[in-house]
Amino acid sequence: MTSLSPDFEVRLAGTEAERDAALRLRYEVFVAELGGDGALVDHAARRERDAFDAHADQLLLLDHARQGGAQVVGVYRLLDRAGAEAAGGFYSAGEYDLDPLLRSGRRLLELGRSCLHRDYRGGSAMYHLWQGLAQLVADRGIEVLFGVASFHGTDTAALAEPLSLLHWRHRAPAALRVSSRVPARMDLIPEDRLDRRRAMLQVPALIKAYLRLGGAVGEGAYIDRDFNTTDVCLVMDTAQLNARRRAIYAGAGA
């Protein structure tokens, strides 16, 4: 990373070059680092894509202080209901029964393919990306955010503690509780035998961020063997954020 302090900007990709940069970063994270694959992944050109990208927005985090000029260092893929209808459904619907959300009549936005360049993890980059997302959510009047988030690996026994913590302490309310289409059990450790602190240390940072902001998980995990991950579906009712969390979400609590 440049020796200069980052100079961040968050915006939707507006050109093919910007969308291509998002696909390149996604390849480096999801394929090169994590071993993922898929039918439309272009290994020769190092692009990670699928059929939903043609109908989705790419929210970009750019650092203008990178050597050589502004570079895309973070990405969120955003798919609204209109985009999902054009794509034949939401991406998450391949893993989870989304009927509770679809029947709610509320304004939905699916978040996916969230990633940061390795040089920007553990710092303020994700905060800036969330600030940009918060503004977009406010502008579009989004009521429910959702999307799958992942643990690396497909051995649920190795993930028993964090999965059990999510099951016992962070399930979504029944009205918004989506269910895995091929459920992998999450209640692997009884609640009274769970070391909650140790379990939380094993929860990925992105999932922790959702939980801090009032997010919750659906019923059951889903094993995604193409991407070598164990997925959970996160749901966030933006109307239910309390005042403190709303301030953090909007960027006032930093």
Q: Quick count: other Cβ atoms within 10 Å of Cβ 6?
A: 20
Considering only 38-47, 54-63, 97-106, which range has the smallest mean pLDDT?
38-47
The two beta strands, 144-152 and 108-116, are parallel
Is residue 66, in this structure, part of any structural domain at all? no
Residue 252: pLDDT above 70?
A: no
| Number of helical H runs and strand E runs in the chain | 8, 10
Total count of domains within the chain? 1
> Could you tell me the two tokens for 89?
């459904």
Residues 6+ apart with CB under 8 A from 86: 55
Position 254 pLDDT exceeds 70? no
Q: How far is CA 184 from CA 123, 224, 244, in A?
A: 33, 11, 34
Q: Who wins on pLDDT, 216 or 34?
A: 216
User: In whole numbers, what is the pLDDT of the chain averaged over residues?
Assistant: 91
**Does residue 3 sit within a domain?**
no
Pull the structure tokens for residue 36: 């993922």
The answer to whether position 57 is within a domain reads no
Is the pLDDT assigned to residue 249 strictly greater than 60? no
Asked if the model's pLDDT at residue 166 lies above 80, the reply is: yes
State the pLDDT at residue 244.
Answer: 45
* Residue 60 domain flag: no
- In the chain, the percentage of residues whose pLDDT exceeds 70 is 93
Q: What average pLDDT does range 100-109 have in this prediction?
A: 96
DSSP one-letter string for 52-105:
TGGGSEEEEEEETTSTTS-EEEEEEEEEEHHHHHHHTS-GGGGTEE-HHHHHTT
- Structure confidence at residue 251 as a pLDDT band (50, 70, 90): low
The answer to whether the CB of 177 falls within 8 A of the CB of 218 is yes
Whether 30 maps to a domain, the answer reads: no
Asked if residue 131 belongs to a domain, the reply is yes
CA dihedral 14, 29, 143, 231 (to 10 degrees): 150
Say whether pLDDT at 46 is over 60. Answer: yes
pLDDT above 60 for 87: yes
Phi, psi (deg, nearest 5) at residue 66: -65, 145
109-158, pLDDT tens digit by residue? Answer: 999 999 999 999 888 898 899 889 988 998 999 999 999 999 999 999 99
Using left for φ > 0, alpha for ψ between -120 and 50, and beta otherwise, residue 105 falls in left
CATH code (residue 143)? 3.40.630
**Helix, strand, or coil here: 233?**
strand
pLDDT of residue 75: 97
Q: What is the dihedral of CA 207, 9, 117, 109, to 10 degrees?
A: 40
16 in a structural domain: no
pLDDT higher for 209 or 84?
A: 84
Which residue type does 127 have? Answer: Y
Q: Could you tell me the two tokens for 187? A: 């209640």
Q: What is the pTM of this model?
A: 0.89
Domain of 120?
75-250
Nearest-CA neighbor of 251 among 63, 72, 8?
8
The pLDDT of residue 253: 45
235 in any annotated domain: yes
pLDDT at residue 173, as a whole number: 93
Q: What is the pLDDT of residues 195-247, one digit of tens each?
A: 999 999 999 988 998 898 889 999 999 999 988 899 999 999 987 654 445 56
For residue 230, give both structure tokens.
Answer: 């164990």
Nearest to 232 by CA among 188, 171, 175: 171
Phi-psi region of 130 (alpha: psi -120 to 50; beta: other; left: phi over 0): alpha
